[in-house]
A and B are shown apart, each in its own frame.
Chain A
Amino acid sequence: MRYDIRLTIEYAYAAPSDHARNLLRLLPSDIAGTQRVTSRLLSTDPMPDERRDCLDFFGNATTSVAWHQPIDAVSLTLRATVERFTPRPMLDLSPPLAALAQEIGEVQSLRSDAPHHFLGASPRIATQDEITAFARERLKPGFSALEAVTQIGRALHREMRFDAEATTVDTTPAEAFAARHGVCQDFAQVMIAALRGIGIPAGYVSGFLRTFPPPGQPRLEGADAMHAWVCAWVGHDMGWVEFDPTNDQFAGLDYITVATGRDYSDVAPVRGVMRTAGAHETRQAVDVVPLDKG
C-alpha cells in the first residue's frame, strides 16, 4: 500500500525567539521488509540559517535546524510518499515469558536494536508498581512473550478510555493510568511501562496511521494526527513486534513509521528550546492519503 503523507506544524511565539534551534524527527526512512520511502521533503519557513540531516543512535532521520535572527513563527512541512509492505502472517515463535530474561542476557550487544536499551527506566518512562501489578494480573502460567504483549495491550485498550482532551504531552504514564484515559501517547507509554515491569523490552514508535472516515462521509483534509504505538522484543526468533494499544492491533498495512526510541523524548517530532520567555502556540495538520485501492 502506497501513501501520500502531508504534515504541517506551525509554531507562533508571543515574543520573537532569539537563536532558535530545533531538532526534528519527522522524516520517515526505509525499513527493510516493512516500508520503503520513495520521496520525502521536509521544508521550514522561514528558511533556517543552518540545516543538517543525520541519523541518531536509533537510526532515526534527524534534522537539525537553526535560525540566527530572531523569529516569531515557524512552519514545518513534510511531504512524503511511502510504500508499506504487507506484513507476513505472524507465527508465535517467542519463548515462554519466563525464559525471556535468559534470551535477553544472551544478547551481548549495544547496537541500537539490542533489547537492553528498552528494559530499564528511560527519561519519561519508569516502571510503576500499579502498572506492573496490572500487567502481572493479565498473565497466565505458560504465556509466551508474544501472548503477554498481546494480552496486556488488549487489556489496556479495554481498561483505558481514549480522550483527546484529558492529557498533555507531559502527562506521565502513572497519571494516565491512574485516570484510565489519554491519547495514543498515553496508551503507548502505559503499555511500555507495563511490559518493562514484567521484563519485556519495550519502546516507543512514532509515525502515521491511515484513518477511515465515518461510513458515507468524505475524508476530511488535515483531520489526522501523528500516531504512537509500541514495539516489544519477544526473543531471538521473532525479535521486535509492534502493537498499537490505542486500536488493539499489531501495526499492519495502515501504519507508517517515522521514528523509534525508548520513549517520547527519543522520538519527539520537534525538540527545541526557544530562548524566549513567552508562551508559544502550536497547530498541527496531517493527511495520510492512500494512493492504492484497498
Chain B
Amino acid sequence: MAETAQHSEAPDLFAEYRLTPGVADELFDAHGQMRPVWRRFVDRFARLSPEDIAARFERGNQYLRDAGVFFRQYSNDPLTEREWPLSHIPVILHEDEWERICTGLSQRADLLEQVLADLYGPARLVSEGHLPAELVAGSRQWLRPMVGVPPRGGHYLHFLAFEIGRSPDGSWFVLGDRTQAPSGAGFALENRMATGRIFPERFPRAHIHRLAGFFGAFRTSMERLAHGQGRARASAILTPGPSNDTYYEHTYIARYLGIPLLEGEDLLVQNGQAMVRTIEGPQPLGVLWRRIDAAFADPLELDSGSQIGTPGIMEAIRQGNLAMVNALGSGVLEMRAMMAFLPRISEVMTGKPLAMPNIATWWCGGAQEQSYVRENAARMLVDSAYACDLPFDLGSQAAIGGAFRSQSRQNLSDWLAADGHRLVGQEAVTLSTTPAWVEDGEDGHGRVLPRPMTVRVFAARTPQGWIFMKGGYARIGRSGDTTALAMQRGGSVADVWVVSDRQVPQETLIPRETDVALRAAPGILPARSADNLYWLGRYVERTEDTIRMVRAYHLRLASTDKPNDPSLREIARFVARNGVDLRDPIPDALINNIESARSCASKVRDRFSTDGWSALGDLARTARAMRKTAKPGDDAARAMSVLVRKITGFSGLVHENMYRFSGWRFLSFGRALERADSLAAMLGAFANPKAPPGSLDIAVEVADSVITHQRRYRIETTRCTAVDLLALDGDNPRAILFQIERIRRLASELPHASDNGRLAELSRAIVPIEAALSVATPTEITSAKLDELRAGFSQISDLLTSAYLR
C-alpha cells in the first residue's frame, strides 16, 4: 500500500516496507498507521547509519558465536552446525495484546490437560463420540502403558508451547500445540541476550518485560514437584544427547536453571524409584524435564529399540515416584487431526468455545469432511492425520493446494477415497508480516522489508495456574510469501519483545534469601559427566604433550640436514607408539586427540564454561587449518608453538575460572595422571642409558624445564639432573612427584575418600607411589622402575573408574 511509504514520518530504511493487501502486519495496523508500540523503536532505528547498524548486528552475531549458539541438523557429521539464524529486528507486541493472547492460551492449556486426562482415563470423549477411537488408537503417541496411571502431582502437562499466527483480520490463532517436549525456550533466552547487545540503550530495555521471572517460577514448580514427603529429590533435564538438533539448548537451559543435564544411561530404577548414577552412588530423582520423545524413555515397556532410554522408568512413574514434564504420552495432543475436534471438545468439556481458535482442520475419515476437503483442495494442505509436525512442516507425501509435493501420486480424490481415515485437510492460512532486515550487500546496507512470522509462546504450570513467558521466539519467513509454507526450513528467528508503557521490574534468577532453602537440592555429579571430565583432562594433556614433542622434532629438523639424525629418529620412534606419524607436519593423531577432547567436552557442556568450549573449538579449527599449509621444519615448529599457546590458554581458563566442584577434581585428576604417566614414558625413552646423545635435552625441553634446569644445576644435562628435575622434584609441575602429590590431594577430596579413618582403595594405591618417589634418589629411578610407575598409574585409573565413574 503506497500510503504507508508516503507516511510523513516513515524513515528511509522503511521506504520499501509495503503492505500486502489482505495480510495483517505487525508494524502497521489495518489503516496503515504505525502501531504505537513500535514508534519509538522505529524512530531510533531509522536514525542509525548503515555502519552503526552493521556494527550492532555484528555485536549480536558475535555474542551468539562466542556463546556457541548454533543450529544443528540431525547428522552423523559433527561439522554440520550452522550459525544461529538471528533476524536482528525484534517482533514488538504491547503487553495488553500479550495479556489477551495468554488468557486465550491459558484456557487452551487447561483444556489440553482435561483432554489428556480423559484419553488416559475414562476415554469419554471417545465413548461419547467426540473423538474417533481409531485416531487415538492409531497414534503412536498414545502410549498404552500410561492408561490408568495417574501422574505424580496430579497433572500431565507442566510446560507447553503454542505456535501462533495473526490472521488477516488481526486476531490470533493457533497453528500447533507443542505438548510433548517443547523446544525453543532456551533459544528465546539466547535471542534476548543477542538483541541486548544490538540494542543496549536504556530505551527500549527498561520497557521490555524480562524472561527470567518465567524461568524462576517454572524452576520453583519443578522443585515442588520433585520433593517427596520430607525427602530431598533432585530435578533434572533428560536429553537424547549431543546428536540431537537442540542439544545446545538443553545444555544452555540446564546451566541457566542450575539443574543437571542427564542422559538415559545416567539413570537407573530401583524399587520403583528413579535414581541418578552419581560419583556418590545412586541418588533419588523426583522430576525429569524430558527433552526426549516419550517412546524412547523406557526400552522395557515402550520402544524396545531405544538406546537412549532407561529400563524401568515406566515403573517409577506408575508407582508415583517420578514426575515427568510433560507426562509420557502427552504427544498424542500434537496429532494434527486433534485440531479438527478440539473446537467441539471445548464446547463439550468446558461449555465454552475456544478462546483462541486453531487452524481450521478437517479429518477426512468423515464423509462430509472428506468431500469438503476435496472441493476446497485449492486452499488446503492435505497430509497425514497422525503427523505431529507443525502445519508448515509437511511430509513428503503432502498435497498443497491440490498438487502433490512428490511425483508418486496423481489424483487427490483417489488418495482421499483410499486413505481418508489417515488424512487431514488444513486451511492454507495467511500469516501476518513483520519487519525484517534484508541486506543489499556486504557493506551493511540494507532495507527493512515485511516478512511472514509465527510466534512461539511458552507456558508453565504453577500452583497459581499457568504463567507465560513474557516474550518468546518468532520464526521469520525467508520470502514475502505469507502462506504458512514460507515458514519451512531456511527461515530465521527473532526475539519477541513484550513492551510496557511504563518501566518494568527487573527480575533475575538470583535467588532471594527465602528461596535458598528450597533450592538447596543436593548438587549431583552424574558418573558419566565425571567420566567425560576425567577423559577431557587426559586428552587435553595428551594433546599438549604431543604438540611439544612434535615441536621438538621440527626444531631439530630445522637445524640439521640429516633426516637420519639419531635424536630425530628417537623422537619419531617414541611418538609412533602413540600413533603419531611425524612425516605429516600436523599429524592426524594430534587432530584426533583434539577431537577426542572436544567430544568429551561436548558431553559436559552444561558444566563447562563457554570460554573454555570456545578455546577448544579454536584449537581444533586452527590445527585443521594448519594442516593445509604447514611445512616440515621451522614452519611446523612455529605452528606447534601457536598450538601450545592456545592449549595452555584453555588450561589457564580451566585453572583460573572453573569452580572447584567435584567435576573440576575429575578434570584435574585426568590431567595430573596423564602428565605423570607421560613424564614416566618420556624418561623411560629419553633418559635411557642406551638413548642417543642429546636425548636428555629433548626430555628437559619437552617438559618445558630448560630454564629451571639451568638455574638449578648450572651444568650440562646428565641423566641424574634430568631425572631429579622431571621425576623427583616436588616443586616442579613437570615432575612426576609433583603430579602424584596432586593426585593424592585430589583423591582425598573425593566422596568416600576414607571409611572410618581408613583410606579407600584408590588412595591406598596412590600413597605408596608418592612415598617411594619422595625418598628416591635419581639413580634408583631406572627404566624398570619407570615401567613399574606406569603400571601403578594405570591401576589408579582403573580404581578411579570403578569407584566413581560408572
Contacts and interface: CB of A to CB of B under 8 A. Distances in A.
A26 B483 CA distance: 55
B134 A119 contact: yes
Given A68-B270, A271-B300, A21 B133 contact: no
A292 interface: no
Interface in B268-296: 268-272
B265 to A, nearest CB: 8
B36 interface: no
Contacts of A52: 272, 315
Contacts of B268: 19
A142 interface: no
A210 interface: no
Interface in B292-330: 299-301, 303-304, 311-312, 315
Interface stretch (B106-114, B121-129, B681-689): B121-129
A11 interface: no
Interface string B122-155: 0100111100111011100000110100000000
A110 B137 contact: yes
Nearest to B270: A68
Contacts, number: 74
B312 A110 contact: no
B137 A117 contact: yes
Interface string A100-140: 00001101111000101101100100000000000000000
Among B147, B301, B311, which residue has the most Cβ atoms of chain A within 10 A? B311
Interface in A38-66: 50, 52, 56-58, 64, 66
Interface residues of A, number: 30
Given A107-B133, A108-B128, A119 B138 contact: yes
Contacts of B265: 275
Contacts of A117: 137, 144
The 7 closest A-B pairs by CB, nearest first: A116-B137, A57-B144, A120-B138, A21-B311, A110-B123, A116-B133, A116-B134
A19 B264 CA distance: 14
A290 to B, nearest CB: 35
B138 A116 contact: yes
Interface of B: 119, 123, 126-129, 132-134, 136-138, 144-145, 147, 265, 268-272, 299-301, 303-304, 311-312, 315
10 contacts: A57-B147, A64-B315, A108-B128, A108-B133, A110-B119, A114-B137, A117-B137, A120-B134, A123-B304, A273-B311
A11 to B, nearest CB: 15
A273 B134 contact: no
B602 to A, nearest CB: 23
A272 B299 CA distance: 8
Given A23-B300, A23-B301, A109-B133, A50 B311 contact: no
A197 to B, nearest CB: 13
B303 A21 contact: no
A108 B311 contact: no
B270 A50 contact: yes
Contacts of A116: 133-134, 136-138
Contacts of B133: 107-110, 114, 116
A58 B144 CA distance: 9
A86 interface: no
A273 B296 CA distance: 13
A110 B126 contact: yes
Contacts of B128: 108
A265 interface: yes
B145 A57 contact: yes
A117 B137 CA distance: 5
B754 to A, nearest CB: 25
Contacts of B138: 116, 119-120
Given A108-B127, A109-B126, A120 B300 contact: no
Nearest to A122: B140
Contact of A108 (B129, B145, B147, B299): B129
Contacts of A268: 304
Given A119-B134, A120-B138, A56 B270 contact: no
Given A21-B300, A119-B134, A271-B300, 5 more contacts: A50-B271, A105-B132, A108-B127, A109-B123, A120-B134
Interface string A165-204: 0000000000000000000000000000000000000000
A34 B364 CA distance: 40
A109 B315 contact: no
Nearest to A271: B300
Given A110-B126, A117-B137, A273 B299 contact: yes
A15 B176 CA distance: 48
A21 B304 contact: no
Nearest to A66: B312
Contacts of A68: 270
A134 B684 CA distance: 73
B304 A265 contact: yes
B619 to A, nearest CB: 32
Interface string A2-25: 000000000000000001011100
Contacts of A56: 144-145
A64 B138 CA distance: 27
Contacts of B132: 105
A242 to B, nearest CB: 21
Contacts of B136: 110, 116
Contact of B137 (A19, A120, A273, A275): A120
A108 B304 contact: no
A272 B311 contact: yes
Nearest to B129: A108
A265 B305 CA distance: 10
A100 B629 CA distance: 73
A68 B281 CA distance: 13
A114 to B, nearest CB: 6
Nearest to B135: A116
A64 B300 CA distance: 10
B303 A123 contact: yes
A200 B137 CA distance: 15
B337 to A, nearest CB: 13
Nearest to A62: B301
Contacts of B269: 21, 66
Given A114-B137, A116-B138, A271 B304 contact: yes
A52 B270 CA distance: 12
B177 to A, nearest CB: 21
A275 B266 CA distance: 12
Nearest to A264: B304
A273 B300 contact: yes
A104 B571 CA distance: 78
B25 to A, nearest CB: 43
Contacts of B312: 21, 64, 66
B141 to A, nearest CB: 13
Nearest to A50: B271
Nearest to B311: A21
A114 B119 CA distance: 15
Contacts of B127: 108-109
B303 to A, nearest CB: 7
Contacts of A271: 300-301, 304
A107 B136 CA distance: 13
A19 B312 CA distance: 11
Contacts of A58: 144
A272 B300 contact: yes
Q: Which of B127, B272, B301, B304 has the most CB of A within 10 A?
A: B304
Contacts of A275: 265
A66 B304 CA distance: 17
Contacts of B119: 110
B332 to A, nearest CB: 11
A30 to B, nearest CB: 20
A246 B60 CA distance: 68
A108 B134 CA distance: 9
A176 to B, nearest CB: 19
